[in-house]
Amino acid sequence: MSHIEYKTLDQIKWMREAGLVVAEIHRSLREAARPGITTGELDEVSADAIRRCGARSNFLNYYGYPATVCISPNDVIVHGIPGKRKLAVGDIVTFDCGAWLERSGQQWHGDAAFSMIVGDEFTSDEEFARSWVRRHQGPGAGKRWGSAIPSAPQAEAGETNAASAGEVSQQGSVARRRELDLVTREALWAALASVARGKRVSAVGEAVERVVAERAEDLGWEAGIIEDFTGHGIGTAMHQDPEVLNYRVRGMMPRLRPGMVLAVEPMLTSGDIENVTENDDWTVRTVDGSDAAQWEHTIAILDDGVAILSAIDGGVAGLAPFGVTPVLLD
């Protein structure tokens, strides 16, 4: 039987502080991620951001994990350990990280993840929301997503094009990776909106499955939903009850109640969901070599709505297409 930790409004505000630290880590990683940089160097970027914010990493030394961020490129689903691997143009890379702050003698945790295509300009939540509306409601709604996905920016005069330098990813299709990233990101925001409107934790899995099925019709291929790794409660520890599944299940899941704080994190693949853990006991890859993506935010349920604790704007832009207005805590 699960034991759920319900938070007061003050405690949720402390978790908002931790969430903003995670948002700053993400910003720093997005700015630093470029072709040729190693994942080990990006871990240093993450560690520096955590220090600047006066926080502590909740990934470093967690059950022996040796870094402050999980960096998972291409066919790595989750828990990729930073090291000597260099990023290449066209790689799809997931960054998953967290931090905690001490308030009133206790740790209060934040946790979030995002994916990106190396070499592409990162799409803000505001632009993502606008493009979502265009795809679903504007002229040409329902057409194949690939035609609306931006390609990597061209190199400026005098710059070395990473492709000619041999730093272009050789795995998979970049267009398919962009589609996978979009589907996963939409699945996250749909799942977060379902927390605002649903009655039980199972609303998350129903929302993820619905997005995957709808996008399969648009794209002509269906993403696989990873079932072995799920979302979770979060608060005075990084991982708490309840388990937050990304797929439909039979049976009763816990009711969504004020004071609950959840880390919602759909993980999708462009192929089969079967996976294997490497000998380092952390890195998880797809067996068939297909690509993976993950998006995650921490969401709090309040008496008068929800708040996205790890989004800079509190979730305003990402939730808008779903008709949800979050509670702002700042």
Domain parsing of the chain, residue ranges: 9-142+169-322
pLDDT-derived band of residue 132, with 50, 70 and 90 as boundaries?
confident
- Non-local (6+) Cβ contacts of 149 within 8 A are 175, 178, 179, 182
Q: Tell me, what's the pLDDT at 145?
A: 43
Q: Which residue has the higher pLDDT, 142 or 190?
A: 190
Q: Which residue has the higher pLDDT, 158 or 103?
A: 103
Least confident of 168-182, 262-276, 278-292, 297-311: 168-182
Dist. CA 120–CA 122, nearest whole Å: 6
Q: Tell me, what's the pLDDT at 195?
A: 98
Q: Tokens for 225, please give them.
A: 């939903």
pLDDT-derived band of residue 135, with 50, 70 and 90 as boundaries?
confident
Q: Tell me, what's the pLDDT at 155?
A: 41
Instruction: Quote the percentage of the chain above a pLDDT of 90.
Output: 85
pLDDT-derived band of residue 137, with 50, 70 and 90 as boundaries?
confident
The overall average pLDDT reported for the chain is 91
Does the structure show a pLDDT above 90 at 162? no
Q: Tell me, what's the pLDDT at 250?
A: 83
9-142+169-322 CATH: 3.90.230.10
Least confident of 83-92, 118-127, 163-172: 163-172
Does the structure show a pLDDT above 80 at 152? no
Q: Which long-range contacts (CB under 8 A, 24 or more apart) does 49-56 make?
A: 49/21, 49/24, 49/25, 50/21, 50/25, 50/99, 52/24, 53/21, 53/24, 53/99, 54/101, 55/18, 55/21, 55/99, 55/100, 55/101, 56/99, 56/100, 56/101, 56/107
Residue 129 parent element (H or E): helix 125-137
Does the structure show a pLDDT above 70 at 12? yes
Q: Which residue has the higher pLDDT, 22 or 148?
A: 22
Q: Tell me, what's the pLDDT at 151?
A: 43
pLDDT tens for 315-330 read 999 999 999 999 999 9
Dist. CA 86–CA 306, nearest whole Å: 39
Q: Tell me, what's the pLDDT at 169?
A: 56
pTM for this predicted structure: 0.91
Does the structure show a pLDDT above 50 at 164? no
> Average pLDDT, stretch 16-41?
98
Instruction: Quote the percentage of the chain above a pLDDT of 70.
Output: 89
CA-based Rg of the chain, rounded to a whole angstrom? 19
Does the structure show a pLDDT above 90 at 177? yes
Does the structure show a pLDDT above 90 at 139? no
Does the structure show a pLDDT above 80 at 77? yes
Is 170 exposed, middle or buried (CB count within 10 Å of its CB: 0-12, 13-18, 19+)? exposed
